[in-house]
Structure 1
């Protein structure tokens, strides 16, 4: 009986580990961006982010405010910061923006990059190192 239980645990462990890894990797895709508060006050970083978006003619849709846009930017940055693969997460966020908005690929890249630059600047060297890849 103890042998059977040990075998079942050995078989279940890899499945459990795969589920945990997949959940961690996909959580940024499944979880919605936080909604901005109606009584939101923007910070200097929020203003900088909105200004960066405006440089590429990225404006919020009717019914959305700078507070909504900056909340989404902070969410993008938080996803990248929390990820074990920041570059992969940033790329995934770009694909999500492209799929869910009328933005061009260039604008989507700019939106995610501006969020990282504004709200998670400490991640820039990490992403740059990941993008450089192993030395040839």
Structure 2
């Protein structure tokens, strides 16, 4: 009976892991969006700087709208990255808390054994924290406009 319960719990845990989105993939996707939106902001700024005394009011309004849209999109992509990192950190914390709960129920473990086991179990949580603190690293390409 006990084996069946443990086996069922294991299957449930595997199915939950399979259903979760890969946090690193979500972060990478958000980082790519940030880089693309940073490039769009750069292009929009160049359009504003390209206005001349002979530009029309329509040209200025178009450049302003383009810059506003680019900045709005950048803010959205930054929010998406932050949410992905926080979600990953929260999920890893829940998993670690479950590990702490399991270890704390093993009354025959010494403190050293429990600490060693938890040190190993904490690695995914530590990695998620490092990802949450990471900065976006965009590869800058030369400007397309002279």
Name the TM-score, length of structure 2 as normaliser: 0.31
Whose radius of gyration is greater, 1 or 2?
A: 2
Structure number having the greater helix percentage? 2
Instruction: Tell me: higher relative CO, structure 1 or 2? Use CA pairs within 8 A at least 6 residues apart.
Output: 2
Name the TM-score, length of structure 1 as normaliser: 0.32
